[in-house]
Amino acid sequence: MREIFESEMLKARVEVQDQTMQSIATELHDNVGQLLSLTTLTLNSVNLDETEKAAKKIENSLSLVNKSIKELRELAKLLHGEQLVSDGIGHAIEQELNWLNKSGVFEIKAQNDLLKFEQSSPDKDLIILRLIQEILNNIIKHAQATHIEIKSFMENDKLFIHISENGIGFDYNEARKNNAGMGLNSIHKRMEMINGKLILNSAVGQGTSISLEIPYP
C-alpha cells in the first residue's frame, strides 16, 4: 500500500509540475510576450525630435518593462520545486485562481478562506492541488462554461472545496463508466487515497457542481 501511495504521489507531483509549466508557458506567451512586444512597438515609434511625445513614450515603455519584470518574478517563484504547496494549500489554490482569472474567459467568484490557514500536510496538499487542477481542466476543456464559483474553507477538522460552473453539464454515471476523457476515475482514486469524499452533481444543460470533503491535516 505504501509503494502504491508513493507511486501515486510521484505521478501527482509530475502532473502538477507539468500543469504549472504549461501555465507558465501560456503566461509567457500571452502576457509577458505581449507586454514586451508592446514595449518594442512603443520604443520604435519614438521620435527624438518630438521631445515631449518621446519622453511620454519612454515613460510608458519603462512602465511596461517594470510590469514585465514583476510578472517574471511571480513566475520564477513557481520554478522552485515544492514551492507549489510549500506556502500551504490556500496559496496554491490562490495561484490556480490567478491563472484562471488571467485567461479572461470566465467570470470568477471565489471565496478562499484557506489563505490564512497555517496547518499543512505536504503530501496531501499536493494531491489536493492536482485534484483541483484536474477539475478546472475539465471545465476549461469540456464544460463550455462562462461562470465559475469556487469556495474553500476548514470546518471540524475537514477541508471543504466546492467548485461549480454554468456549462453544458453531462451524464455523470455514463461519463465515469466510459471515463470520457475527463479523468473522473483518477479523481475518485485520489480522493480515496486521502480518505476524502466527493459529491458531483451534473445534468445536461444545467452545469456541474463538485464538492470535496477531506480530513485534514
3-class secondary structure per residue, 3-33: HHHHHHHHHHHHHHHHHHHHHHHHHHHHHHH
Q: How far is the C-alpha of 30 from the C-alpha of 24, rounded, in Å?
A: 10
Q: What pLDDT, on a 0 to 100 scale, did the predictor assign at position 83?
A: 61
Instruction: Give residue-wise pLDDT tens across range 21-79.
Output: 777 777 777 778 888 888 998 899 999 889 998 999 999 899 989 888 887 877 776 66
Query: For the chain, how many helices (H) and strands (E)?
Result: 8, 5
**Among the listed residues 143, 133, 146, the one whose alpha carbon sits nearest the alpha carbon of residue 17:** 133
Confidence of residue 92 (pLDDT cuts 50, 70, 90): confident
Q: Name which of 16-20, 62-66, 91-95 the model is least confident about.
A: 16-20
pLDDT of residue 215 exceeding 90, the answer is yes
Q: What pLDDT, on a 0 to 100 scale, did the predictor assign at position 79?
A: 61
Q: What pLDDT, on a 0 to 100 scale, did the predictor assign at position 112?
A: 95
Q: Which residues lie across from 202 on neighbouring strands?
A: 208
Q: For the chain, where are the E strands, in sequence order? A: 107-112, 147-155, 158-165, 197-202, 208-215
What pTM was computed for the model?
Answer: 0.70
Higher pLDDT, 103 or 205: 205
Higher pLDDT, 186 or 139: 139
CB 64 within 8 A of CB 94: no
What are the grid coordinates assigned to 195, written together?
A: 480518505
Q: How far is the C-alpha of 199 from the C-alpha of 35, rounded, in Å?
A: 42
Q: What pLDDT, on a 0 to 100 scale, did the predictor assign at position 179?
A: 65
**Among the listed residues 74, 65, 75, the one whose alpha carbon sits nearest the alpha carbon of residue 37:** 65
